[in-house]
Amino acid sequence: MQRLHHSLLQLRHKSPLKFFFLTAAFILVCTSLLFYSRPGDATSSSNDDLVHPLPSNSNSTDSKDTCYVDIDALRSYGYNSSAQYARLEIAVERTANFSGFSDTLDARFPKYQSVRLDQVAHREPLPQRVCSPAVTIQAPLPVAPPNASHILFGVATTLDRLEESLDAFAHWAAGTETRIYALVEEEVLSSVQRVQRLAEAKDIRLVIIDRADERLDRYFYLLRVLLKYRDASTQWAVLIDDDTFFPSMKNLVDRLATYDASKPQYIGALTEDLAQMFSWSFMAYGGAGIFLSMPILEQLDKVYDECNAFKTTGDRRVAMCIYEHTTTKLTWDRDLYQLDLRGDASGFYESGRPLPLSVHHWKSWFQADMVGLGQVAAICGDSCQLHRWRLKDHWFLVNGFSMVRYTSPDPSDLMEKTWEDSKYRGGDGFAFSLGPFRGKDEGKVSFRLRSAWQQAGTVRQIYVHDLGPEKPPEVLEVVWKPASA
């Protein structure tokens, strides 16, 4: 370039006319080079409105943009071709004047659009009109986690199952100052410390104690552990299974406050199945939670060795010890649930009845994503979990569990009996606990929750209706967002 510049200067003095033409040509060449070196080509201006794939890190839960289909989430359910996708946005106004949720929602099931899943992109942007709230509801003001420092929980399990349970424990225990004592089989210290750190990161006060006893003996030994670690403020010792789930710790704290903890108390729930009761007796079943006051715990400690000789299940061992050595009897709290239901428990969850204090067996005897269900409490409070709204077109949104449409447009408020029959031969073995019932609706359309997460102040729920391997699934995403967003 410097040599060219020198030649032009020489030419300028010798022949002004030639210099003029050569200079013009030089400018034309430079302009052409500059034009063709721009990114894109002549057609780029006509493609400005096309949707381009976003980079792989674009669907981080920290992203403020939620107006897109999460392709990776849909693929994670095992779908790889296409899906029919619909989206319902609900705005939530938190107010001090909240008086309860209505049973109706002024909205309709949204329209579908086809989404390709066999693409490189991780998300598919949506038009802004699709991401506008269809309806606004009111919800109570946010509240801090309750102080549950007066409650001690005990669980006998394995270290692996304990780790798997941490997300569920975090829903009800995080930030409440309650303590959970976990008795596990003897483990490598480094593994125990790793799970301990995971719990601390989730703000769970977890103490892991390894003990070589058989699991049922470890369960009964929890009585001594909880008595040992009580302090002056402790009122309740609670025995749980690793799949015991409390949807609302505030509701649980409030309910326990209605009982006199200064007296011997043995509180829990029966099995829902009379066949189970005939096998295991009238007692508090462990999955629902067994609640013991300090006076009864002290009485049991005095006869611990004698009661530990009862070689039966842990919860039955506790019951036998109480019945044979104290005058205390079981108080059945009807909002605690063992949920001895096999197969499809959707009828229980979709019944529209009050939010349970506890549930159990949700990842064994039947499948229900309680961790996913609990996500929505962050934006509309504990009381909106499992709340059932009826939409204008006869769909029912059971918050955190399903979106359903029944064969009859006006189903009764009787609980739909969807699970397997009891082996009890003296009538309906479940009627005494869960009835009255209506028959299973074989023709109902059900979208079940597959996942839920919090993102940028919103909660995203994905419900799926699986139509079989030959047809693309129908997907409904419900997005809950603050009314001011």
Q: Residue-wise over 185-206: b if at least 16 C-beta within 10 A, else e?
A: bebeeeebeebeebbeebebbb
The enclosing H or E element of 197 equals helix 189-201
**Extents of the domains making up the chain:** 62-143+382-484, 151-332
Strand, coil or helix: what is 59? Answer: helix
Q: What is the pLDDT of residues 338-357, one digit of tens each?
A: 999 999 999 999 999 999 99
- pLDDT confidence of residue 65: 86
Instruction: Render pLDDT for 379-410 as a digit per residue (tens, 0 to 9).
Output: 999 999 999 999 999 999 999 999 999 998 77
* pLDDT of amino acid 26: 45
Residues with pLDDT less than 50, the chain = 1-60
Q: Tell me the two tokens of residue 136.
A: 């606004």
pLDDT at site 186? 87
**CATH superfamily to which 151-332 belongs:** Spore Coat Polysaccharide Biosynthesis Protein SpsA; Chain A (3.90.550.10)
Handedness of CA 125, 130, 134, 136 (dihedral sign): positive
Would you give the distance in Å from CA 372 to the centre of its chain?
2
The reported pLDDT for the residue numbered 257 is: 98
Sheet holding 205-210, edge to edge: 205-210, 179-184, 151-156, 236-240, 290-293, 266-268, 331-332
pLDDT for res 408:
81
Strands 236-240 and 290-293: antiparallel
